[in-house]
Amino acid sequence: MPPLLQVENLTVSFHTKDGVVRAVNGISYAMDEGEILGLVGESGSGKSVSSMSMLRLIPEPPGKIEAGRVLFEGRDLLTIKPGKMHSVRGRDIGVIFQDPMTSLNPVMTIGRQIAEAMQVNLGMDAGAAMREAVQVLDRVGIPQARQRIKDYPHQFSGGMRQRVMIAMAISCKPKLLIADEPTTALDVTIQAQIVDLVRQLQGEMGMAVIWITHDLGVIARLVKRVNVMYAGTVVETARIKTLFKSPAHPYTLGLLRSLPSLEMSTDQDLAYIEGAPPDMINLPPGCAFWPRCGFRTRQCTEERPELIAVGESHLSACWHIDRLGAPQRAPTPSHTEVAA
């Protein structure tokens, strides 16, 4: 079966007055139907831009898709007409944004908003769409859904508003759901509830999910596979279990070490990755991570490493995979239960 989504050499930049921001630098990956993929990396690594550009949701200009193909069920999303893109976004691919208020209309009741999406995308009549909106809100755990469809977005708490966003995103039964850090603004308990909700909905509906986050701990029990991103590239891709047991990129090691672990005493500082992320206008030559990497050699500063296979379904872009030593034992985070 062909993959649901196939991203090939996606390259995106922003042409600003300060220079060209090289936000996404040749990303390639594929996803099967029903697969759950995590995109992990620190702030500015290109997680949002790589995902939103394929839905044509970045401002163009200053944004520009410089190269690549994004095949969704065989159609290239980067070349289809804007009108068609609208229906892909509404019906085939659902999106949950970090800040629900950016995509909820403040002056329309949430019932109306959800129903309207179903009327437009699925051709339902107004009455049926409103009845279905109640069902969907109920499904994402909004109490008294029948009453609450008459409320406006500001009448919901942060966590409930995220649930409303999820309801909107899944109302048209998309084949792919993209969740862009939907939990970072929420407290830990509610984050866990939202992750559990998406996991449950995914199980029921069988949709594929891309979950974007800077925190591996949040998604360890949700995703099956992870793309680790650094400076607009994927530096490692692996099954989540493999990533925790045998990380094969120095940056991934750093990410894992920065997760809290059970064995750690509470006053111990979490290990962190020294140095700052690169300036995306003046990326260093070679591997973008070398200025922060303990394993660097001259080769790293001159030649960009490509992703190469280091195990089954496991790729890493590092010149020194052999020196990392396998398997690399990273601390297992206490709040994390790793998906099988």
Which positions touch ligand ATP (CB under 6 A)?
14, 16, 21, 23, 41, 43-49, 59, 62-63, 214, 280
Residue nearest to Mg ion (CB): 48
266 contacts which partner out of ligand ATP, Mg ion, none, CB within 5 to 8 A by kind?
none
Burial of 313 (0-12, 13-18, 19+ CB in 10 A): exposed
How far apart are CB 259 and ligand ATP at their closest, in Å? 16
Closer CB to Mg ion, residue 47 or residue 91?
47
Q: Give all strands of the β-sheet with 308-311 in edge-to-edge order.
A: 93-96, 176-180, 208-213, 36-40, 225-230, 233-239, 314-316, 308-311
How far apart are CB 133 and ligand ATP at their closest, in Å? 30
How far apart are CB 92 and Mg ion at their closest, in Å? 22
- Taking the mean position of all CA atoms in its chain, how far away is CA 18? 28
Check if the beta carbon of residue 188 is closer than 8 Å to that of residue 217. no
Instruction: By CB under 5 A, name the binding residues for Mg ion.
Output: 48
43 contacts which partner out of ligand ATP, Mg ion, none, CB within 5 to 8 A by kind?
ligand ATP
Helix (H) or strand (E) holding 20: strand 19-31
How far apart are CB 280 and ligand ATP at their closest, in Å? 4
How far apart are CB 47 and Mg ion at their closest, in Å? 5
Closer CB to ligand ATP, residue 2 or residue 62?
62
SS3 108: coil
Closer CB to Mg ion, residue 48 or residue 316?
48
Closer CB to Mg ion, residue 48 or residue 233?
48
155 contacts which partner out of ligand ATP, Mg ion, none, CB within 5 to 8 A by kind?
none
Closer CB to ligand ATP, residue 44 or residue 94?
44
Closer CB to ligand ATP, residue 90 or residue 182?
182
Q: How far apart are CA 54 and CA 51, in angstroms?
A: 6
Helix (H) or strand (E) holding 129: helix 126-139
Sign of CA dihedral 132, 38, 42, 218: positive
First-to-last alpha carbon distance for the chain, in angstroms, is 23
21 contacts which partner out of ligand ATP, Mg ion, none, CB within 5 to 8 A by kind?
ligand ATP
90 contacts which partner out of Mg ion, ligand ATP, none, CB within 5 to 8 A by kind?
none
Structure tokens belonging to residue 29: 């990956």
SS3 178: strand
How far apart are CB 214 and Mg ion at their closest, in Å? 8
